Amino acid sequence: MSPTIAVYGAYGHTGRFVIAQLRKRGLTPRLCGRDAAKLQTLADAYPDLDRRQAAIDAPHQLDRMLEGCAAVINCAGPFLDTAAPVLEAALRAGLPYLDLCAEQGAALDLVAGYDRQVRDAGLIAIPAMAFFGGLADLLATAAFGDWPQADAIETAVALDRWHPTMGTRLTGQRNQRPRLVIANSELALLPLPAATRDWTFPAPFGTQPTLALPFSEIASYARHLRCTRADSYMNLTAVQDVRDPDTPVPSAVDADGLSAQRYAVEVRVHRQGRTRSASAQGRDIYAVSAPLIVEALVRILDGRSHATGVVAPGQAFDATDFLSALPDLTWTLAAAE
C-alpha cells in the first residue's frame, strides 16, 4: 500500500497540481483543508481518495487529519496563518512537513520557533519548497559548489506574464511585513525605494528592467549559504501584472491544467572577482511547484535527505542531482568567470 500524504489546502490552484504529482509518483494524497464545501467539490472529482476537514485553530482536527499519514504538504496560504499550526500538528504526529510559502516571514518564523523542536524529534521541515524560495535556493547551492562563502548572491526572476491566483492575492493582502535582504552578512530591511536595474536573462527573455523584490529565497539562503550580501529582482512586466487588480487568474491551456506562462530564474554567486551562475527555465510557476515539493518529499521518504530541523532545500539535498531529476525543468550551471 502506498504511503498516504496529507495535502492541506488540496482544493487550491497549486494543491491540485500537487495531488496530480503525488499520484504520478505512486503516493496516495489525502484531501485536506479548512473549507468543507470546497473539499466536498474536490472529493467528488477524486472519489477514491480520503478527505479530512480541519480548521487551522482546531488542533484535534489537525491531528485527526494526519492520522495514518507519512508526511504533510501544506498548500494553504497565507502561510503566516497556516504554517505554524500545521507544523505543530506534524510534530505531534512525528511527520515530515513541507510547504509552498513565498512569504519570508512565515519561513523565518518556523526557523525561529520550531527548528530546535524539529531537530530534537529527528524530523525535517522544509518551508518554501516551491518556485519561490526552493528553486532559487537549489540553484544558488549548485552555483556555490565548493565555495565556503560568497561576497554576494544575486537572484532574478523573469515572467512573461503573472496572472495571480486568488491565494496569491490574499497572501499579498495578509503579508504586510517589510521585505528583507542580506546585508553585511545579516538579514536587513530592503532599502526603499526599491532599486531598479536591467538584467540580461537567457533567451527568449533577453534584457529586462527589474525591480528589487525579494521573496522566501532570502530566508532559505540565510539558513546555510554564507554570503555578505543577497539581493533579489523581478522583471517589471511581472510586477505590474501582479499589482494590477484587473489582471485575470491563470487559465489552463492543456489537459494538465498548465497555463501558457513562461519563466526564467537566474542566480549569480560572486566571490573574489569571480562569478558562478545557475539558471532554470520552464512553464507555469504554480505548476512547477508540484514536482519540486513532491521530489523533495520522495527523497525524504526514501532516505535521500541529509538534514533534520527546519531547513532549506540546499541543506537537505544534493542540489545538482535534485535539479537534474525534474523532467519539466531546463537548468544550466555555468563555470566561474
Q: Do both 162 and 242 map to the same domain?
A: yes
Q: Which has the closest alpha carbon to 54: 70, 69, 65?
A: 65
Q: Do both 248 and 276 map to the same domain?
A: yes
Q: Do both 271 and 305 map to the same domain?
A: no
Q: In this predicted structure, what is the pLDDT of residue 335?
A: 73
Contact between 29 and 22 (Cβ < 8 Å): yes
Q: How many CB atoms lie within 10 A of CB 177?
A: 13
Q: Do both 274 and 164 map to the same domain?
A: yes
**Confidence (pTM):** 0.97
Q: In this predicted structure, what is the pLDDT of residue 304?
A: 96
Distance, first Cα to last Cα, the chain: 50
Is 39 within a domain? yes
The β-bridge relationship of strands 186-189 and 150-159 is unpaired
**CATH number, position 187:** 3.30.360.10
Q: What's the whole-number average pLDDT of the chain?
A: 96
Per the structure, how many domains does the chain have?
2
- Give the SS3 label for residue 214: coil
The H helix count followed by the E strand count for the chain is 12, 16
Q: In this predicted structure, what is the pLDDT of residue 336?
A: 64
Which residue(s) pair with 52 in the sheet? Answer: 32
Range of the domain at 30: 4-130+290-316
Q: Do both 280 and 303 map to the same domain?
A: no
Q: In this predicted structure, what is the pLDDT of residue 328?
A: 85
Mean pLDDT over 3-7 rounds to: 98
> CA–CA separation, 202 vs 205, rounded Å?
6
> CA–CA separation, 110 vs 105, rounded Å?
9
Cell numbers describing residue 208: 529586462
Contact between 164 and 248 (Cβ < 8 Å): no
Percent of the chain's residues with pLDDT above 70: 99
Percent of the chain's residues with pLDDT above 90: 95
Is 324 within a domain? no
Q: Do both 166 and 277 map to the same domain?
A: yes
Q: Do both 139 and 279 map to the same domain?
A: yes
pLDDT digits (tens, 9 = 90+) for 222-262: 999 999 999 999 999 999 999 999 999 999 999 999 999 99
